[in-house]
């Protein structure tokens, strides 16, 4: 957990150093190039894509998770900008239940 906090804090500090105002930094600090963010998740936390879906606004939402339980939710907007939305620990896959007699 300390490593994740340091990673996110470092990202925020880097963003603040590049932007003229704190409000802009907060809005943009956790966004960037998708490939770079994914490589950092893989390299720093061993997180790989776990699941994905499309939001009604066309954004792609992905969940990255590692074998040790760390996880990150990433949103890629239609314009290609990718943002880290949430991160945490203790990811756990739930068992899939069969839908007996239920048609979807």
Q: What is the pLDDT of residues 48-71, one digit of tens each?
A: 999 999 999 999 999 999 999 999
Separation between Cα atoms, residue 66 and residue 59, nearest integer Å: 23
* Cα 41 versus chain centre, distance: 8
Q: What percent of the chain has pLDDT over 70?
A: 67
Burial of 68 (0-12, 13-18, 19+ CB in 10 A): exposed
Higher pLDDT, 22 or 68: 68
In this model, does residue 9 exceed pLDDT 80? no
Other CB atoms within a 10 A radius of the CB of residue 84 amount to 20
Residue spans of the domains in the chain: they are 2-88
pLDDT per residue over 33-45, tens digit each? 999 999 999 999 9
Query: Can you give the length of the chain in residues?
Result: 104
Separation between Cα atoms, residue 52 and residue 28, nearest integer Å: 23
């Amino acid at each position: 957990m300390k490593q994740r906090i340091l990673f996110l804090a470092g990202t925020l500090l880097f963003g603040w150093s590049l932007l003229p105002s704190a409000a802009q930094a907060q809005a943009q600090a956790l966004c960037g190039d998708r490939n770079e963010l994914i490589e950092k998740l893989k390299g720093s936390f061993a997180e790989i894509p776990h699941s994905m879906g499309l939001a009604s606004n066309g954004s792609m939402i992905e969940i990255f998770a590692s074998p040790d339980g760390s996880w990150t939710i990433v949103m890629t907007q239609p314009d290609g900008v990718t943002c880290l939305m949430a991160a945490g620990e203790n990811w756990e896959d739930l068992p899939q239940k069969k839908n007996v007699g239920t048609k979807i």
